[in-house]
Structure 1
Amino acid sequence: MHVPDGFINTPVSVAAGVVAAAAVAVSLRGARRELGGLSQAGGPGGERTAPLAGLVAAFIFAVQMLNFPVAAGTSGHLLGGALAAVLVGPYTGVLCVSVVLLMQGILFADGGLTALGVNITVMGVVTVVIAYGVFRGLLKVLPAGRRSVTVAAFAGALLSVPGAAAAFTAVYAVGGTTDVPLGKVLTAMVGVHVLIGIGEAAITAATVGAVIAVRPDLVHGARGLTTRLKLRIGGELVDAPAPAASPVAARSTTAVWATGLVTALVLAGVVSFYASASPDGLEKVAADQGIDQKVEEHAAKDSPLADYAVKDVADARLSGGLAGALGVGATVAVGTGVFWVVRRRANAADATGAEPSAV
């Protein structure tokens, strides 16, 4: 659903950029609480999640390269807002998707640079808000447990994609550069993205379930699910003493980080070659409904990695694989750097007792 340059006029693109910048600023403040440490994360796990946030961004980048068929001549790909929000928190999730979109736009000419604000707002903010709202709402009514986290993540992801499609249609209604019947655009966008949402939900639930199975303490959305052991004393049930904190070595994220990075590299560098070549949902609707009549060439169209291929490498498989691997490396480096700074600021504020200020 990467919106290219030319779909949305300049005033609305600028307004969307302001909204996106404000959302990122708010998310930086919220991410400090999610990633800063025990006291700021609202429970155990914050300091262990921080090293994984950059990896989550890289994983989303990799999986977004895997377009899957959803209908005749149409494909879809992960948006990632739901997955990021459940794994590392909603504020950090917005930042993860924003990093991915920035890297895609600058390095791979995917998603217009003037439309970056639109893409962050639609693919990052809207998906996270819808997905995490549904996720938290369901956790309140479902039985406490890991399975409920996976089910709630599935539902949040499923609804976030058509929600983002509707949000794009709303933006297009205000600032679209062509005169087309908006009712048809809305019906087509939501219809195809409901199908894409099923794929998004399956990927999100499978990933969240896999992480919960090995390290539930690293899943932001699964915090607080541990039930205290009960002891019967004098005929009454009382809470057992809390177990001693695990040593730092036992809480190491190295194995999870390495496994996730290798998985992302394999997906982007190898599996992506077999992804569907059909246009994604937005591209298909744009061509069918005529909203792409004024699309503009990307400013980075001559980038060495444009269109997810390394320039001057003739072999398509090697070219795409190298581009994917380089994209994963660049995304994990930039994302890790961003979240390292966020975490340091949070820890510094925690040490001084001051409220973290927005950047």
Structure 2
Amino acid sequence: MHVPDGFINAPVSVAAGVAAAAAVAVSLRGARRELDERTAPLAGLVAAFIFAVQMLNFPVAAGTSGHLLGGALAAILVGPYTGVLCVSVVLLMQGILFADGGLTALGVNITVMGVVTVVLSYAVFRGLLKVLPGTRRSVTVAAFAGALVSVPGAAAAFTALYAIGGTTDVSLGKVLTAMVGVHVLIGIGEAAITAATVGAVIAVRPDLVHGARGMAAPLKLRVGGVLVDAPATTPAPAPVAARSTTAVWATGLVTALALAGFVSFYASASPDGLEKVAADQGIDAKVEEHAAAGSPLADYAVKDVADARLSGGLAGALGVGATVAAGTGVFWVVRRRRTDRQDAPAQAPAV
């Protein structure tokens, strides 16, 4: 759903840019409460993983494909504030390096794909956890539902922006129906990917899933063939805070590199939901060439590398590397500022 330059006029693009900048500023402050020495590098990895999976377009209807937006996944794994930052880093890397998503439309993309998806998905996620049993399976179910809702919600948000600042005169009713309809189908794929990823992480390291904090099941003992709560005198396991995240980080990075560098070659070549609707409804009549169209990595291919498989694989691997480096750097700075504030000596009151 990367909005290119020319779909939305300049005043609305500027307004969306201001809104996106404000959301990022608020998220930078909020992320200080979500990040610690373990989760800061993992947040960079989440951004890289989202970048990689976004390269895997999957077919959803005749001649149409979809891809992960990632707001729900990021919010549930590392927190909503950090989630907005993760998606923003991904969109920035895609726009600058790969000419994917307009640069003048960056604020629109962050607002629609980052802020809207995170807010909607996390609201649904937290709401469901209040009524579902306090189990890890409930986290996965709530993640599925939150991700499912977030995608058509983002499509509706784009349509609202287009209603205000669209550059072509088209039927907004038809655009809304087409956008929401196709993105409900894409949302099913988003929900499946999100639930599978959250489920995989929660199965091995529930302590690293922001949305699962405080949901650790009590230790059980089997007595006479029946599971009962362990007595309070049973020694507690070692604190999870001391456990290393190196294995999780390495596994995630290798997975992201494999997805972007190899599996992406087999992704659907059909236009995604927004591209298809734009072509069918005439939204793309005034689309503009991307300012970074001459980038050596434009369109996710390395310039002057003739072999398509090798070119796309190298571009994907470089994108994962750039995203994890940029994301980790941002989150370490945010984490560092939190630590500096905590360590700063309190000023003596004025006399």
Gaps of 5+ in 1: 37-46, 232-236, 355-359
Shift of residue 351, structure 1, vs aligned partner: 2.1
Confirm whether residue 168 of structure 1 aligns to residue 158 of structure 2.
yes
Kindly report structure 1 stretches of 4+ aligned residues shifted beyond 6 Å.
Answer: none
1:36-47 mapped onto 2 (5 Å cutoff): 36=36, 47=37
Structure 1 counterpart of 2:17: 17
Confirm whether residue 4 of structure 1 aligns to residue 1 of structure 2.
no
Q: Distance in 1 between matches of 2:305 and 2:27?
A: 39
- What secondary structure does 2:296 align onto? coil
Q: Distance in 1 between matches of 2:203 and 2:237?
A: 22
- What secondary structure does 2:59 align onto? strand
Confirm whether residue 150 of structure 1 aligns to residue 140 of structure 2.
yes
Confirm whether residue 327 of structure 1 aligns to residue 327 of structure 2.
no
Structure 2 counterpart of 1:61: 51
Q: Distance in 1 between matches of 2:79 and 2:343?
A: 22
Q: Distance in 2 between matches of 1:222 and 1:282?
A: 33
Q: Distance in 2 between matches of 1:92 and 1:8?
A: 27
Question: Partner amino acid for 1:157?
Answer: A
- What secondary structure does 1:293 align onto? helix
Structure 2 counterpart of 1:272: 264
- What secondary structure does 2:254 align onto? helix
Structure 1 counterpart of 2:33: 33
Structure 2 counterpart of 1:40: none
Question: Partner amino acid for 1:243?
Answer: A
Shift of residue 245, structure 1, vs aligned partner: 4.6
Confirm whether residue 243 of structure 1 aligns to residue 236 of structure 2.
yes
Superposed CA deviations along residues 201-239 of structure 1, whole A, max 9, x for unmatched, are 0000000000001100000000001245599xxxxx985
Question: Partner amino acid for 2:208?
Answer: L
Q: Distance in 2 between matches of 1:203 and 1:229?
A: 30
Confirm whether residue 86 of structure 1 aligns to residue 76 of structure 2.
yes
Shift of residue 307, structure 1, vs aligned partner: 0.2
Structure 1 counterpart of 2:170: 180
The counterpart of 2:211, out of the listed 208, 221, 225, is 221
Structure 1 counterpart of 2:334: 342
Shift of residue 145, structure 1, vs aligned partner: 0.7
TM-score (norm 1): 0.91
Question: Partner amino acid for 1:163?
Answer: G
Q: Distance in 2 between matches of 1:343 and 1:317?
A: 38
Structure 2 counterpart of 1:196: 186
Q: Distance in 2 between matches of 1:5 and 1:200?
A: 25
8 Å Cα contact 2:32/2:338 also seen in 1: yes
Mark the CA change 1:323 to 1:72 in structure 2 (over 3 Å): closer, same or farther.
same
Question: Partner amino acid for 1:11?
Answer: P
8 Å Cα contact 2:65/2:270 also seen in 1: yes
Q: Distance in 2 between matches of 1:241 and 1:97?
A: 43
> What is the total number of aligned residue pairs between the two structures?
339
Structure 2 counterpart of 1:208: 198
Confirm whether residue 291 of structure 1 aligns to residue 291 of structure 2.
no
Shift of residue 243, structure 1, vs aligned partner: 2.7
1:244-259 mapped onto 2 (5 Å cutoff): 245-246=238-239, 251-259=243-251
Gaps of 5+ in 2: 222-229, 347-351
Structure 2 counterpart of 1:41: none
- What secondary structure does 2:60 align onto? strand
8 Å Cα contact 2:98/2:295 also seen in 1: yes
Superposed CA deviations along residues 25-59 of structure 1, whole A, max 9, x for unmatched, are 000000000004xxxxxxxxxx3222200000000
8 Å Cα contact 1:4/1:296 also seen in 2: yes
Confirm whether residue 135 of structure 1 aligns to residue 128 of structure 2.
no
RMSD of aligned residue pairs (Cα, Å): 1.8
Mark the CA change 1:168 to 1:242 in structure 2 (over 3 Å): closer, same or farther.
farther
8 Å Cα contact 2:207/2:240 also seen in 1: no
Instruction: State the identity as a percent.
Output: 88
8 Å Cα contact 1:230/1:239 also seen in 2: no
Mark the CA change 1:284 to 1:224 in structure 2 (over 3 Å): closer, same or farther.
same
Structure 2 counterpart of 1:122: 112
- What secondary structure does 1:292 align onto? helix
Structure 2 counterpart of 1:308: 300
Confirm whether residue 49 of structure 1 aligns to residue 39 of structure 2.
yes
- What secondary structure does 1:69 align onto? strand
Q: Distance in 2 between matches of 1:84 and 1:277?
A: 26
